[in-house]
Structures are given as structure tokens and as C-alpha cells.
Chain A
């Protein structure tokens, strides 16, 4: 009797575990199937066409792709130096009394849902951008800044963890040779934790590019490529969040599914690079 239960238990755990793989394959398949119509109708023009006008049955994803790349790039430029600063502060500089409370509050802030960062951006940051740079305040720049603040806690926490893996004995040896704190950080800690630090940045990049709510509030969903950063723009997730419930034709739906597929492929690739290339040794969630 217990042999049978034993077998059933073993097989059911295996079944559920394998179903995770099937689920991921299923997600890709379903998105691909639903994109077929737009792929056939629009072909490669989908990613090169700049005009997105659902009423004219014109679906060009380039403005959304451009917006995703630029807003994420802005977010990374702003967040990376801050994250490094916070991480150095937390792992090497802060007095022991500050280390734990500041570190924990940063980790807790990483748990605050992104919709709240978006709401803060809309009510408190949009007016600042409007007053400083003109325009309506809802813009690519605002989206980039809000996104950078949203990914900062995650980035800082993971970078700090990577820096903390440096063995104390290495650091102490460098101090014993007369190294200053900066010498130790740049010649010991950063080289030692390099893979982990770069990996965590790329992981944050992968998350930022798929982030929806933090930017939906402040980007405007305007399908236009503009070099002016203070102009409203759109990105792939912003388009999806705004238009999915409005799609009224098959081609419209299908092109939104193609956008989803594109986003999934992009972030899957970026996250895989982070995980397999850089974070193999250090395991970061």
C-alpha cells in the first residue's frame, strides 16, 4: 500500500515540476499563434514601420520599441551610478549601526509594487519635470527617471550582496599593505565581484524593459519617435497596458500579441544572459 502511495507521490511531484517547462513552452506557443495574423499581414514591416494608427489598420511597432530602449537606457544611466554608490556605502562605508537598518529598508522598498512608484511619479514628479523642462511633464524623460528609481532598490541590494561576497581576508591583506578604502574597493572588491555586479545590472535591465506600471502613468502612450526627451512617448508594455482592452479588430489584437511576444523574447534573452553568463557562480534570486 505505502509503496503505491510512494510511487504516486513521486510521480505527482515530477509531473508538476515538468509542467513548469510545459507552461513556458505553452506561453511562447500561444503568443506565437496569436501573432501569426499580424506576422503574415505585416511581415518585417512591423518592426520598421513608424506609424501606429489602429483606425487605418496600420501597425508599426518602431515607436514602442524605440521608447522601450530609450526609457530603459535612461533608467540604467541614472540608476547604475546611484546603485554602485549605495552598494559601496552599504558594504564598505556605513557604520555597523546604519548598515542593517538602511540595508533592510532598501530591500523592503524593492518589495513595494511598481504601481505605487508610477503613482508617485504622476503626482509628484510630473509637475517637477513640467516646471523644469516645460511641456506637459508626461514624457520619455519622466518615464526614464521613475523607472530608474523603481529599479534602484533591487539593483543596490543585489550589487551589495555581490560586493559582500569578497572574502574579508583579501580586503584585510590590501589594507595591511596600506591601501585606502578606495584602493581596496577598486582593486579588490570590484574585480572580485565583477561578474556578480555586471550580472545584477543586466538582470535589472531585463526587469526594467518589461516594467509596465511604473511607466504607464507617466509616459503618455504617444506613438511617435521624438528626439525631444520631454515629449510624450510610448513603450511596448505601455502600449499593451493602454490598448489591449481597446483592440477591436483581429489585426489589432494580433499585433498586440506580436508586441507581447517581442517583449517576452527580449527580456528572456537579457535575463538569460545575466543568469548564464554572469551569475553562474553567485546565485542571485
Chain B
């Protein structure tokens, strides 16, 4: 399989000013992550608010500048500063779908104009060709082509997200970064959009980076999933193996915390205590040790590396308990 996008030791730090402190402090939004997205794959990035998943997505489309690390798209480094023409070239291949379908569409443009705009910027086709392309795109996302003259406010939330999808597809990209594309939608509409994204993946030959806090949605759509916590990837595995055998204590807790829509399956496990530490001052050692019920002395000093599990090279976990060769205490479960 060919890697389409490779992220290597990506760091994004934002400077903040703290009171009575002269040295600048940094929010370590993304703090050294590695992952690869292969062609035709859907890669999921899950985690709770503030874990750095959105920042990662934004760094890939160059909406934020990385502080360190490299991002390779099709073998070319895109993390470095780029010229205008290079950025345009990148935008043709990598597109973004935003979370909120209400604020991500210009209220003063017709839907036709919104979808046509990328084509104009990139000088693709004449007016007649563009009109045809827009009509095809709108039909492809399940809207009727004659609604190109309507304005965004005339559409419902689900329909607006369809417009956002059509806009992202306009340049025929190979990778779309989707930042919580369905979390603002009701369940019945969410299902429509998820199905649409799956259908389009086949017909447009797309790869997705799918960012979400909703594990059920990620499980439905993604092939491989990375779980992020406090700017770091703590577990990265194929869908099946992650959901059957979550190995990082955080991934385990995250899965256990989802309320299942089944009154017979009540949550029994004690929920994870406490809150995520501040990304300005991440704890030393393992970022999760402050909330981890298995934590031991080493976790507080030594930061675990993201390493493959025994017998499963595709299942990476950053936890001392999972790598007995590097530690002495084995994971004890009830």
C-alpha cells in the first residue's frame, strides 16, 4: 500500500502569556505525533476536547503552522513554508470539511457560487463547464441541481453539510480532512451524511482523515484509528483490533464511558476520574498517569513510546504496561 500522507514528529505549540511570568509559555496542542494515511483509507483521529485532534487536521491543510516535525503528502514535505503556487497545488489535493455547517458557508453567496469558487480560483474550465461541474457535484451529494441559486439559509443543517462536502469535492482532491463533520447534526441526518461520505469515497477514490470525538461514528467509518490524549497518540490500531482489545488504559476507559443505547447494558465500571491536565504544563512521564488506575512509579517519570504490541505489529500502544520487555510490572486486570 502506498502512503498518501505521512506525519512525522509533528508538534504544534501555541504561545500564551501567563500572568506574572516573563518567559513565554506554550500550549502544547500537538506534541510529537506520527501516523501514516494510505491511499483509499479512512483514518480516524479520536479524543476528547483539547487533545489536539483538530489542530492536527488544521496543520495538514496548513491552516496552522507546525512548530516542528514534517508532513509528507505524496512524498513531498508540506510542513515547511510554501510559495503561493505550491499551496494552491496542495489545496487541489487536500481539502477540508468543517464541523459547523452554519458558520462555514458564506451566507451571502448562492450555493452554486460556494461550490464553484474553488474552480474559479484554480482556473478550471469556462463558465459553462463550471456550471455543469457544479450541477454534477450537487447531484452527487444528494441535492437537486436546480437549487444552485438558493442561499445557505434556505437549507437544513444536513443539507448544508452536503454543500460543504460538495465544495470539498469540487477540485477532485485525493485526501479530505473531515473535522467533526456530523457532530452538529441530529442522529437521523448524521446517518445520511455518513452513508454519503462512504459512497463518495468509492466514486471519487478518496482518502479521509476523519476527526471525531464520537467513537461509534469513527468505528462505523474508519479503517484505522488513532486515539489522542493531551497532544499525543496513545494508541493506534486497526478498527477491529482497537475495539476488541483496547490496550491503552485511556482507550479502554474511553470505550467504557460510552453510554450504549441499551437499557440492559448499564455502565458498571467506575468512570474515569478527574480532568485532562493543562496542555500548558503537561505532567512528566506518561501524559495519562494522573488519571490512570494502573499507574505505577515509572509512569510518573518515564514517558512511554508508541510501540507495537507483541504479536501484532499494526497495533501500536504507548504504555509501559503493554511492553513488558521494557518494564517489569505486567498489566493486571480484574
A binds B: no
